[in-house]
Structure 1
Amino acid sequence: MLYWLSEIFQINLLGYITIRAGIAFFLALFFTLFLMPRFIRWAQKTSSVQPINNWAPERHQSKAKTPTMGGIVFISATIFASLISIKFSNLYAVGAVITLVLFALIGFKDDFAKIKKNENLAGLKARTKLLLQVISALAVALFLYAQSDFNTNLYLPFVKNPVWNMGFYAVIFWIIVIIATSNAVNLTDGLDGLATVPSIMALTSFSIIIYITGNITISSYLLMPNINIGEVAIVSSALIGALSGFLWYNCHPAEVFMGDSGSLTIGAFLGYLAIISKSEILLLLIGSIFVIETLSVILQVGSYKLRKKRVFLMAPIHHHFEMKQWAESKIIVRFWIIATLSNVIALITLKIR
């Protein structure tokens, strides 16, 4: 709508991506800050609270009455701000909104099932959830594959030229990236604000990379691929604003949790951003906390099945530190620091090619 207004009334300022990204950020921020306390009161009134897994550390039992499914609020705020701010003729921005909608629906269905049965493990069956994720990721991947100006090349950090044209295999690779990132963020969302700030850091990095990739002058200077994806930075900026508003209520001690409706959606969106910016491999560094959390689960399960021994006291790894009696705030802040540093390093690599 804002771009349309810039065309109709010749408001050149609204034609700039950076200006509309800033507007989207504040729209999503204020919308989240306005709706979240009302959602919290409604959730408490209707007992839409977080069921705690019986295997979770003892201290988590005190969080049993904390409202969940807050992701619906900040994802809705993101979509609202994006629809007002993006240029609809840019299909990559439209694809970003579609990704948010598809995975938010999966997360909502899972959250609603848990709340209805008041049981942490009573959500969607693992196979059903994975099937829905595959179908949604396939739709997004085929959407990207159908774009005439979008290539299927694989890029590596520090290398200025693509290393492999994946052809149709790119669709399979993109599906894996989206699903893996979606589930990685979901695993990380176990402490107050733990997944929120690393997500903000990752989104900030991708917003910068996407703006560069969409700008022919800057991308040429940095020897990066040039694709018309700059508008997607507006959607990313909106989600940063929405998450900032959510963090106001999600920081320790949390008044609300994002639930699968938030974590699954954020992860899928990060995967989408990595794909369109040709940064799938760099995603490992940008989302370092999510990678560490996922690897800790893989190591724990693999070790127990092969050796009948555990590597960690409990997985994901943030629970390991809880079992070692670290204060929850200390675990959270230290993970935030790691996420910030890894994203700074990721941005530095853009210049080294």
Structure 2
Amino acid sequence: MLYELYDLLNINILGYITIRAGISFFLALFFTLYMMPKFIRWAQRTSSVQPINEWAPENHKSKAKTPTMGGIVFIGATILASLLTIKFSNMFAVGAILTLVLFALIGFQDDYAKIKKSENLAGLKARTKLVMQIVASLIITSFLCFFADFNTDLYVPFIKTPIIEMGFFSIILWCLVIISTSNAVNLTDGLDGLATVPSLVALASFSIIIYITGNVTISTYLLMPNFNVGEVAIVAAALMGALTGFLWFNCHPAEVFMGDSGSLTVGAFLGYLAIISKSEILLLLIGSIFVIETISVILQVGSYKFRKKRVFLMAPIHHHFEMKKWAENKIIVRFWIVSILSNLIALMTLKIR
């Protein structure tokens, strides 16, 4: 809408991606801060609260009456702010909105099933959820190939030219990136604000990379690939604003949880950003906390299955530190620090080509 005003009334300032990204950030922040208290009161009134896993650490029992599904609010705020600020003719921005919508629907169904049955493990069956994620990912990646005309080259850090043209296999890789990142953020969302700040930091990093990738002059100077993806930075900024508003209520002690409707969607969106910025490999560093959490679960399950021994006291790894009697705030802040440092390193690699 704002871009259309630029076209219609020749308001030059609205033609700049940076200006509209800033506007989208504050719009999404305002929408979230305005709607979240109303949502919390509604959730308390309707008992739409977080069911606690019986295997969770003892201190989690006190969180049993905390409203969940807050992701619906901040994802909705992100979509609304984005629709008001993006250029609709940019297919990459449309693909970003599509990603948010599809995975929010999956997460909502999972959250609703848990709330309805009042049991943490009573959501969508793992196989059903995976099938839905695969279908959603195929829709998104097919959209990139056939409507956004996105190329299938694979880039790696430190090398200025693509190492391989993936062809059809790009669909497989991109689906894997979206699904794995979606589930990784979901695994991390176990403590108050634990997934929120690393997501914010990752979004900031990807916003910078995407803006550079969409700018001919800067991308040429840094020897990075150039595609017309800069508009997606506006959607990323909107999600950053919405998550900032959500953090106001999600910091310890949390008044609301994001639920699967938030964590699955944020993760899928990060995967989408990695794909369109040709940063699939760099995602491992940008999303370091999510990678660590996922690896801890894989190691725990694999070790117990084959050795009948546990690697950690409890997985994901943030529960391991809880079992070691670390204060919840200490775990959260230290994970935030690791995330910030790894993202700084990731951004430093952009100059090394």
Superposition TM-score, scaled by structure 2 size? 0.99
Is structure 2 residue 180 aligned with structure 1 residue 172?
no
**2:157 corresponding residue in structure 1:** 157
**1:49 corresponding residue in structure 2:** 49
Q: Which amino acid aligns with 1:150?
A: F
SS of 1:311 mapped into structure 2: coil
Gaps of 5+ in 2: none
**1:323 corresponding residue in structure 2:** 323
1:268-307 CA distance string (max 9 Å, x none): 0000000000000000000000000000000000001111
Equivalenced residues, count:
353
Contact 1:50 1:65 in 2 (8 A): yes
Contact 1:110 1:123 in 2 (8 A): yes
1:182-225 CA distance string (max 9 Å, x none): 00000000000000000000000000000000000000000000
Is structure 2 residue 221 aligned with structure 1 residue 230?
no
**1:118 corresponding residue in structure 2:** 118
What is the root-mean-square deviation in Å for CA atoms of aligned residues?
Answer: 0.6
Question: CA separation in 1, counterparts of 2:155 and 2:7?
Answer: 36
1:37-93 CA distance string (max 9 Å, x none): 110000000000000000000000000000000000000000000000000000000
Question: CA separation in 2, counterparts of 1:148 and 1:331?
Answer: 41
**1:282 corresponding residue in structure 2:** 282
Q: Which amino acid aligns with 2:333?
A: V
Q: 4+ runs of 1 displaced by more than 3 Å? A: none
**1:239 corresponding residue in structure 2:** 239
**2:102 corresponding residue in structure 1:** 102
Is structure 2 residue 89 aligned with structure 1 residue 89?
yes
Q: Which amino acid aligns with 2:164?
A: W
Q: For residues 71-82 of structure 1, what are the structure 2 equivalents within 5 Å? A: 71-82=71-82
SS of 2:160 mapped into structure 1: coil
Question: CA separation in 2, counterparts of 1:339 and 1:33?
Answer: 25
**1:250 corresponding residue in structure 2:** 250
User: Once the two structures are aligned, what percentage of the paired residues are identical?
Assistant: 78
**1:6 corresponding residue in structure 2:** 6
Contact 2:91 2:148 in 1 (8 A): no
Q: 1:145 Cα deviation (Å)?
A: 1.3
Q: 1:148 Cα deviation (Å)?
A: 6.0
Q: For residues 197-276 of structure 1, what are the structure 2 equivalents within 5 Å? A: 197-276=197-276
Question: CA separation in 2, counterparts of 1:133 and 1:65?
Answer: 29
Q: Which amino acid aligns with 2:159?
A: V
Question: CA separation in 2, counterparts of 1:109 and 1:181?
Answer: 19
Q: 1:150 Cα deviation (Å)?
A: 1.6
Q: 1:347 Cα deviation (Å)?
A: 0.3
Contact 1:149 1:227 in 2 (8 A): no
SS of 1:50 mapped into structure 2: coil
Contact 1:6 1:14 in 2 (8 A): yes
Is structure 2 residue 310 aligned with structure 1 residue 310?
yes
